[in-house]
């Protein structure tokens, strides 16, 4: 009886499985028939209605986007598209009605694409990835050797565009002329289309106009007279400049332009070199913005860190990782400490020592990139009122902060009782639109400067506007440098310079304990080559964080040891980005620091470079490396500061 029941169950199971197999087979046959039918339909397409678009910039080992366009009137663009690529069958899935796929060219290749009766063929020679370092290398070397930044940036651009056209099949001379025209009609035009770039240009111009007006109306001279009570000599003048740089912590652009323009008349009177002013301005702006918990940097940093965490699949908060990484951000912290040592010891070395001695002898750099107007007749006869300058500057500083709060405001976050007030402010600032905030603030400051000037009958409205326009026009040199630097950054992006440098690290078999130091150096090289600390972070955070985690785990480190390396790598990417940015003559913040200080740009780079290198080397050898092995930060920072102090005392010389 039991055996009979068992046979019935087995028979039913067999029937069920047989039916299931038959149904599945029919579905497969039906699906295959539909695909065959699609291929048959494609053969009836008019080849003129099919086109292939390939990105003309093709770099070796970097995937390039290829788009297939089908303009047949009755074609269903929501269906999959079967094609042949170099003889291999591939099915492309539609995305928003477009058929796009990626292809990697490792060497010269005859690319063939077949769609029904349509056939496309093209010989492609990719640009070797190593050649991507040529444009920034040429620009940097020429700038440092010949001390002429316009030619350096232009030749860097020209070398990049020429290389791209040569590998598109053009002869050298045709590529040279095509590249020359592409600089203006492609790269500079694309740069000017960027909303962030336009915002920085407008912000800089409005700050220039405001500074010109508050200088003409006697306000800047009033500030100088007021600060003179506290800045009685070179030491106190430099310290006040450093203090202002630390106080304006929320944005590096606002920091450079406000501090440089405000303190330049003071430092000139105290015979402090423009190079030293530019160094203090540049070396407080980015380091402070990289360390403070409420800045325009924090949002983008946390977003990049989150990408790396997502790639690994960690159950960690990006914000907490950011907080934990602060204790090992050696370069920004040591840079601020190093400046204080130089200031209070009254010592300098290298090119900065020569610049300071010239300034003390009354031979200060007097190039005026921003309108200074210190010797204008009206300014000499007017009563110096400090508040005519202080109020507009105050409006810009706190207007920027207010703009950040307004553009990043989140009522749900603010009303959430489970989130602390500190975290609320940090996230609001992190989510803000810094460019909009800067534009609002600079416009307000300029407007207030006009009201104060006209309201006190210092100048009429016509003369006030004329002085502001004069301030606008004096920004042309700096704006031109910025545009060329941004265009060169676009070239390095198109040629994947950062990818080449990143691959060097990824392909190296490294000990996990060396990863933070190597990452710092790689970040510095990329930021130096591209002139962008933010661009460096955008490349390296999603790329290196997963690599650091994998290498640490493969070496058998436990979770806590792996997290220690991970947090140090987070610090190293940001610190290296700031370090490379400080050393690079094509960095926008370096350019703005020269601009605000009215210092020759290459002189600023040459005098700042030795100081940045000293801090970078010391911080890496005696900070980043031992920190990876677990040495606590409260031991490392005093040791590093002591070493920097020793260097200043031994190698520095008193400035008369």
Least trusted range by pLDDT, from 19-33, 357-371, 589-603: 19-33
Across 251-276, average pLDDT: 84
- Angle in degrees, 0-180, between the axes of helices 476-494 and 195-216, rounded to the nearest 10: 160
C-alpha span between 306 and 319 (Å, rounded): 9
> Would you put residue 271 in left (φ > 0), alpha (ψ -120 to 50) or beta?
left
Per-residue pLDDT for 282 more than 80?
yes
| 24 CB-near residues (< 8 Å, 6+ apart) | none
CA distances, 287 to each of 134, 329, 576 (Å)? 29, 9, 11
Per-residue pLDDT for 134 more than 60?
yes
Exposed / middle / buried, residue 534 (Cβ in 10 Å: 0-12, 13-18, 19+): middle
Across 140-163, average pLDDT: 83
3-state DSSP assignment of residue 78: coil
What is the pLDDT at residue 618? Answer: 96
Strands 50-54, 63-70: pairing is antiparallel
Q: What is the DSSP string of 506-544?
A: HTS---GGGHHHHHHHHHHHHHHHHS-HHHHHHHHHHHH
Residue 93 DSSP label? P
**Site of tokens 């450079």:** 256
Q: Which residue has the higher pLDDT, 544 or 7?
A: 544
Residue ranges per structural domain of the chain = 47-126, 130-193
Per-residue pLDDT for 644 more than 90?
yes
- State phi, psi for 345 to the nearest 5 degrees: -85, -15
Per-residue pLDDT for 290 more than 70?
yes
Least trusted range by pLDDT, from 32-41, 188-197, 226-235, 384-393: 32-41
What is the pLDDT at residue 20? Answer: 47
Per-residue pLDDT for 332 more than 90?
yes
336-349 pLDDT, tens digit per residue, is: 999 999 999 999 99
Per-residue pLDDT for 580 more than 50?
yes
Confidence of residue 132 (pLDDT cuts 50, 70, 90): confident
Least trusted range by pLDDT, from 159-173, 520-534, 594-608: 520-534
Q: Read off the tokens for 649.
A: 């005392």
Q: Which residue has the higher pLDDT, 517 or 100?
A: 517
Least trusted range by pLDDT, from 9-18, 59-68, 222-231: 9-18
- CATH architecture type of domain 47-126: Sandwich (2.60)
Q: Which residue has the higher pLDDT, 302 or 174?
A: 174
Cβ atoms of residues 641 and 333 within 8 Å? no
Per-residue pLDDT for 311 more than 60?
yes
SS (H, E, C) 302-335: HHHHHHHHHHHCCCCCHHHHHHHHHHHCHHHHHH
Mean confidence (pLDDT) of the chain:
80
Task: Enter the pTM of the model.
Answer: 0.67
- State phi, psi for 291 to the nearest 5 degrees: -105, -35
Angle at the Cα of 241 from the Cα atoms of 239 and 244, rounded to 5 degrees: 110
What is the pLDDT at residue 339? Answer: 95
Across 21-41, average pLDDT: 42
Q: Read off the tokens for 614.
A: 């000293």
3-state DSSP assignment of residue 112: strand
């Amino acid at each position: 009886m039991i055996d009979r029941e068992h046979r019935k169950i087995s028979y039913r199971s067999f029937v069920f499985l047989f039916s299931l197999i038959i149904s599945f087979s029919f579905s497969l046959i039906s699906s295959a028939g539909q695909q065959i039918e699609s291929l048959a339909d494609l053969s009836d397409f008019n080849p003129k209605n099919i086109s292939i678009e390939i990105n003309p910039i093709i770099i070796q080992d970097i995937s390039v986007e290829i788009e297939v366009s089908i303009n047949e009137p009755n074609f269903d663009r929501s269906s999959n598209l079967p094609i042949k690529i170099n003889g291999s069958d591939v099915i492309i899935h539609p995305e928003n009605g477009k058929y796009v796929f990626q292809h990697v060219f490792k060497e010269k290749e005859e690319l063939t694409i077949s769609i029904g009766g349509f056939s496309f063929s093209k010989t492609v020679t990719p640009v070797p990835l190593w050649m991507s370092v040529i444009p920034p290398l040429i620009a940097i070397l020429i700038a440092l050797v010949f001390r002429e930044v316009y030619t350096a940036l232009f030749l860097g651009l020209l070398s990049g565009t020429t290389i791209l056209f040569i590998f598109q099949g053009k002869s050298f001379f045709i590529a040279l002329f095509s590249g020359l025209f592409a600089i203006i009609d492609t790269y500079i035009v694309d740069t000017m289309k960027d909303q962030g770039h336009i915002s920085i240009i407008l912000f800089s111009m409005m700050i220039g106009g405001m500074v010109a007006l508050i200088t003409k109306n006697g306000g800047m001279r009033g500030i100088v007279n007021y600060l003179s009570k506290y800045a009685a000599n070179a030491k106190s003048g430099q310290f006040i400049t450093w203090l202002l740089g630390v106080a304006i912590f929320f944005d590096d652009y606002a920091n450079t332009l406000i501090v440089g323009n405000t303190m330049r008349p003071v430092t000139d009177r105290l015979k402090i070199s423009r190079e030293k002013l530019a160094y203090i301005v540049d070396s407080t702006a980015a380091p402070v913005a990289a360390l403070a918990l409420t800045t325009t940097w924090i949002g983008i940093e946390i977003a990049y860190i989150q990408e790396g965490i997502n790639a690994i699949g960690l159950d960690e908060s990006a914000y907490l990782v950011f907080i934990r990484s602060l204790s090992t951000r050696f370069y920004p912290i040591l840079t601020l400490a190093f400046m204080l040592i130089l200031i209070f010891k009254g010592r300098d070395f290298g090119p900065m020592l020569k610049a300071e001695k010239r300034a003390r002898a009354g031979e200060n750099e007097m190039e005026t990139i921003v309108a200074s107007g210190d010797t204008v007749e009206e300014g000499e006869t007017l009563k110096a009122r400090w508040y005519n300058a202080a109020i507009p500057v105050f409006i810009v500083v706190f207007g920027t902060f207010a703009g950040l709060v307004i553009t990043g405001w989140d009522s749900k976050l603010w009303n959430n009782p489970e989130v602390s007030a500190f975290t609320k402010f940090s996230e609001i600032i992190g989510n803000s639109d810094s460019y909009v905030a800067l534009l609002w603030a600079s416009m307000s400051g300029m407007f207030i400067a006009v009201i104060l000037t006209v309201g006190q009958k210092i100048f009429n409205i016509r003369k006030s506007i004329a002085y502001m326009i004069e301030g606008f026009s004096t920004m042309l040199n700096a704006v031109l440098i910025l545009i060329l630097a941004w265009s060169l950054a676009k070239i390095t992006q198109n040629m994947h310079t950062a990818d080449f440098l990143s691959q060097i690290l990824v392909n190296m078999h490294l000990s996990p304990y060396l990863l933070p130091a190597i990452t710092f150096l790689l970040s510095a090289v990329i930021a130096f080559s591209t002139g962008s600390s933010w661009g460096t972070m955008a490349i390296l955070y999603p790329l290196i964080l997963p690599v650091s985690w994998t290498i640490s785990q493969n070496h058998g480190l436990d979770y806590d040891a792996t997290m220690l390396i991970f947090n140090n790598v987070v610090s190293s990417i940001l610190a290296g980005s700031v370090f490379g940015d400080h050393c690079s003559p094509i960095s926008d913040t370096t350019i703005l620091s020269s601009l605000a200080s009215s210092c020759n740009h290459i002189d600023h780079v040459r005098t700042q470079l030795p100081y940045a290198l000293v801090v970078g080397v010391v911080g890496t050898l005696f900070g980043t490396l031992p920190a990876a092995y677990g040495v606590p930060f409260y031991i490392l920072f005093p040791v590093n500061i002591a070493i920097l102090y020793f260097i200043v005392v031994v190698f520095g010389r008193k400035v008369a």
